[in-house]
């Protein structure tokens, strides 16, 4: 179940762990073994768009990371490459080439999100070896802290505004709002707080702890009116908001102690439990501009499926032939969901739409290199381009017009 330990230097590690800490885990379903394609076949099969495959990442990459915030229209991608030494190096793929972002004087950097202008946020080690949030617009700019030692940028809006978290003078971590000039402390409910989502009108969501970090609730902050944080409550126990669209609709999850996890939507001043696909757990991961929520849920038999919630019903994205598991990682403005699913033996990158259902993206490639396997789709832009992890590194799937 979800556990949060913010004694570590990176709260993002806990957030990422939470996203996979349900019974929805590929390792429990036999993932990790991948057979390469023998070579280009007779052409794409199935339905939906076809794609050209473009390798991305820095030279010497062994492993690459891109969050669901790490792609923008036009094939712009921001991510993190790790070489054989395991050190993280942030990069920008500008649609043509990969550019290393460098650091703030230390030995590592990590890119978390990019907007259509190619502006990026994340964090980088300073000369003192501690992480500081950065804004990149052709050069790295240190966003500083809230009086403490460290900070991390998590997501950036199309308008170049950023949220994340930074340490304060009393040693807490607080969500911040960066308006392009200053870092604003958003406060908390008495303990730590963390910003996880932002929209173009200046609303920020995340979660904040009460005194002594004894509990945490989802929050909403509106930069147009200022603080304090609005406590969104929880249907049961603790809660966290992970995404907000421009209409102010919010998606997130909740849990009761170490018990079952549920997904929620918050709108019109009310938080609504959106249920599950029949199992004990569900989690929302993103909401698009139309209010469609993507997430993951357990089924009654204990297997897991990605889902889309349309305001009324939760729909399973299904599974691939021979498999019994799928996961949704991201959704774009048109309702295109991406993630991964198991076949009888392998984990494959997938997409889903109401029209086409679940699609193995390996079947939609134009002249793929011999032996290439698309393992997991990590992020999708509103123009339909997709970032995937392959058996040879990161790649961009560019929609063929």
Q: Decide if 318 contacts 327 (C-beta within 8 A).
A: no
Q: Decide if 333 contacts 327 (C-beta within 8 A).
A: no
* Strand residue runs (E) in 213-355: 216-222, 230-231, 238-244, 250-255, 261-267, 270-273, 278-287, 293-299, 304-309, 314-316, 326-331, 337-342, 347-353
pLDDT digits (tens, 9 = 90+) for 1-28: 222 233 334 444 344 334 334 433 333 3
d(CA 114, CA 95): 13
pLDDT digits (tens, 9 = 90+) for 40-79: 344 576 678 999 999 998 888 889 999 999 999 999 999 9
Pick the closest to residue 103 from 66, 129, 72 (CA basis).
Answer: 129
Q: Decide if 73 contacts 381 (C-beta within 8 A).
A: yes
Q: Decide if 396 contacts 390 (C-beta within 8 A).
A: no
pTM over 0.85: yes
d(CA 348, CA 339): 9
> What pLDDT does 45 receive?
67
Give all strands of the β-sheet with 250-255 in edge-to-edge order: 238-244, 250-255, 261-267, 270-273
d(CA 68, CA 251): 15
Pick the closest to residue 239 from 277, 210, 269, 211 (CA basis).
Answer: 210
> What pLDDT does 4 receive?
29
- The residues of the chain scoring below 70 in pLDDT are 1-43, 45-46
Tokens standing for residue 236: 């049961």
> What pLDDT does 237 receive?
93
**Entry field: residues in the chain:** 401
What CATH code is assigned to 11-288+390-399? 2.130.10.150
Q: Decide if 361 contacts 48 (C-beta within 8 A).
A: no
- Domain edges within the chain: 11-288+390-399
Q: Decide if 2 contacts 15 (C-beta within 8 A).
A: no
Q: Decide if 142 contacts 178 (C-beta within 8 A).
A: no
Give all strands of the β-sheet with 278-287 in edge-to-edge order: 278-287, 293-299, 304-309, 314-316
Burial class of 169 by CB neighbour count within 10 A (0 to 12, 13 to 18, 19+) = exposed
d(CA 231, CA 369): 51
> What pLDDT does 10 receive?
44
d(CA 266, CA 391): 38
């Amino acid at each position: 179940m979800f556990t949060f330990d913010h004694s570590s230097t990176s709260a993002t590690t806990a957030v990422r762990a939470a996203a996979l800490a349900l019974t929805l885990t590929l390792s429990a379903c036999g993932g990790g073994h991948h057979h390469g394609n023998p070579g280009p076949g007779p052409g794409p099969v199935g339905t939906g768009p076809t794609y050209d495959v473009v390798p991305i990442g820095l030279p010497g990459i062994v492993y690459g990371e891109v969050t669901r915030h790490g792609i923008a229209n036009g094939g712009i991608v921001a991510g993190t490459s790790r070489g054989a030494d395991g050190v993280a190096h942030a990069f920008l793929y500008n649609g043509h080439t990969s550019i290393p972002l460098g650091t703030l004087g230390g030995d590592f950097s990590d890119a978390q999100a990019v907007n259509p202008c190619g502006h990026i946020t994340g964090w980088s080690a300073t000369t003192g070896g501690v992480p500081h949030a950065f804004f990149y617009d052709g050069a790295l700019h240190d966003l500083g802290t809230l009086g403490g030692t460290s900070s991390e940028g998590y997501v950036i809006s199309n308008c170049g505004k950023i949220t994340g978290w930074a340490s304060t003078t009393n040693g807490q971590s607080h969500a911040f709002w960066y308006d392009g000039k200053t870092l604003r402390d958003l406060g908390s409910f008495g303990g730590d707080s963390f910003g996880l989502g932002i929209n173009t009108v200046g609303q920020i969501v995340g979660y904040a702890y009460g005194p002594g970090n004894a509990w945490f609730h989802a929050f909403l902050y509106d930069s147009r009116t200022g603080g304090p944080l609005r406590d969104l409550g929880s249907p049961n126990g603790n809660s966290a908001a992970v995404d907000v669209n421009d209409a102010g609709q919010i998606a997130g999850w909740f849990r009761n102690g170490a018990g079952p996890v549920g997904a929620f939507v918050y709108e019109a001043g009310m938080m609504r439990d959106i249920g599950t696909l029949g199992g004990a757990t569900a989690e929302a991961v993103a909401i698009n501009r139309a209010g469609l929520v993507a997430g993951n849920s357990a089924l009654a038999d204990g297997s897991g499926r990605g889902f889309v919630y349309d305001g009324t019903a939760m729909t399973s994205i299904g599974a691939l032939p021979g498999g019994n598991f799928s996961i949704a990682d991201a959704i774009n403005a048109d309702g295109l969901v991406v993630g991964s699913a198991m076949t009888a033996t392998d984990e494959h990158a997938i997409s889903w739409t109401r029209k086409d259902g679940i699609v193995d993206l390996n079947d939609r490639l134009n002249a793929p290199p011999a032996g290439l396997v698309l393992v997991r789709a990590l992020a999708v832009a509103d123009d339909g381009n997709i970032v995937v992890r392959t058996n040879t590194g990161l790649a961009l799937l560019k929609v063929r017009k």
